[in-house]
Amino acid sequence: MAEAGASPSAGAGGGGGVGAGGSPKPAAAKDGVDGGTDSGEGGGGAARQEPGLRLFFALWPDSATSAALHARARALHLECGGRAMRRDTIHLTLAFLGDTPAREVERLQALAAQVEGESFALALDRVGSWKRNRVLWAGPSIVPPALAALAQDLEARLRAAGFALEERAFSPHVTLVRNARVAPAEAPLPPLRWRVASFVLVASERSAAGARYRVIGRWPLKQRG
């Protein structure tokens, strides 16, 4: 059952290539914040006067996982420069909707409640970079089948309902640093294990202090076994 209105607030990609460890790196994707290819403002003409929200579906880490990811972000910042993401911004984007009429929130919440998925363990054991927009990220060398299935089911339902999404393959990653001066050294990393038990719908809100995230719906994943 959805927990709409929950609000762990938060403010949080170029092309392909090879990340640390030698595996193909994910293509850059929008993840709901300022900077790099993640911005993508919608048009503001006369046809778009109704209230809107900047929305995306994501995996939101628990307190221990967000602390561990933030520690990794700080370490990368010391090594590579740039701006480490605030702890309350850290997430993994499942589907980016961008500027969306506020009236669509209820339809999105109803759609998300129909998504079927299982909880899973995610091992973030890679760090890579996108040179064009100087983003450093963490990701899995092996994508759990349950994660791939969740993203595919959500995407299919969103497209069937008429929502526009990026035309690119799902590439799971967590943005850790922006505006990095150099790429991180390629070295084996101890896997950071994240037990994923739910997914969320998030509104990205801009202010003078920067982006802030507001979770406006949460849906549990089925426990296995």
Q: Once rounded to an integer, what is the mean pLDDT over residues 14-43?
A: 45
The alpha carbon dihedral of 175, 14, 166, 208 has a sign of positive
- Go through the domains of the chain in sequence order and give each one's CATH number: 52-220 (3.90.1140.10)
Nearest CA among 30, 137, 37 for reference residue 94: 30
pTM as predicted: 0.79
Residues 60-117: pLDDT tens digits?
Answer: 999 999 999 999 999 999 999 999 999 999 999 999 999 999 999 999 999 999 999 9
159 close to 118: Cβ distance less than 8 angstroms: no
Q: How many CB atoms lie within 10 A of CB 186?
A: 14
Catalytic (active-site) positions = 91, 173
Q: Report d(CA 125, CA 128) in Å as an integer.
A: 10
Q: What is the predicted pLDDT for the residue at 192?
A: 96
CA atoms within 13 A on the CB side of 124: 26
Residues 18-32: pLDDT tens digits?
Answer: 344 444 456 555 555
Share of the chain above pLDDT 90, in %: 64
Across 17-26, 43-52, 159-168, least confident range = 17-26
Q: How confident is the model at residue 142 (pLDDT cuts 50, 70, 90)?
A: very high
